Amino acid sequence: MTDIDWDELRQVATDAMRRAYAPYSQYKVGAAALVDDGRIVAGCNIENASYGVTLCAECALVGDLFMSGGGRLVAFSCVNGDGETIMPCGRCRQLLFEHASPGMLLETVSGVRTIDEVLPDAFGPYDLRHSAAREAAR
Ligand code: THU
């Protein structure tokens, strides 16, 4: 799947952004991603009076991914309240990495990049399996 319709993804992210609940920061975020079966999933940020409990748009997107059938993320776009492309925060890069297809693409402030470029040498499921296997061999 090489032909990514970035305009469409950005549009879905912008529509999601309009549903954001951001009464504390006033910073609305919408995210959208193409799934490996062709579905598009999306999410918005949902803040909380206990600020640290805030859910980033990517959290809602991953919820949408699972609730609509699962799969792997192929391409991702994220926008702010002005419809500008923004970077996923560090925590959300980790969140996306867990559900990424190999070579997942992200629209970023410096062009289209792979998940490995925005989260190099990521810690992931492999590390846990690797150390469990070592433990079992002892
Ligand atoms: N935010 C996201 O939704 N995703 C990100 O990757 C960056 C930050 C939200 C969280 C909070 O509601 C607002 O942006 C300001 O930090």
pLDDT at site 2: 63
Active site residue ranges? 58
How far apart (Å, rounded) are the C-alpha atoms in residues 65 and 51?
Answer: 25
- Strand order across the 40-44 sheet: 40-44, 29-35, 73-80, 100-108, 111-114
Q: Whose CA is nearest to atom 7 of ligand 1?
A: 89
Which residues touch 107 (CB under 8 Å, ≥6 apart)?
6, 9, 10, 75, 76, 77, 78, 85
Can you tell me the mean pLDDT for 2-13? 94
- Of 105, 72, 71, 82, residue with least CA distance to 30: 82
Task: Indicate whether 17 pLDDT > 60.
Answer: yes
Angstrom distance (rounded) from CA 77 to CA 61: 11
Q: Is 54 in the pocket of ligand 1 (CB under 6 A)?
A: yes
The residue whose CB lies within 8 Å of the most ligand 1 atoms, and thus the one to mutate among 29, 78, 82, is 29
The residue whose C-alpha atom lies closest to atom 4 belonging to ligand 1 is 56
Question: Is 107's C-beta closer than 6 angstroms to any atom of ligand 1?
Answer: no
Amino acid (1-letter code) at residue 77:
S
pLDDT score, position 134:
83
pLDDT digits (tens, 9 = 90+) for 47-94: 999 999 999 999 999 999 999 999 999 999 999 999 999 999 999 999
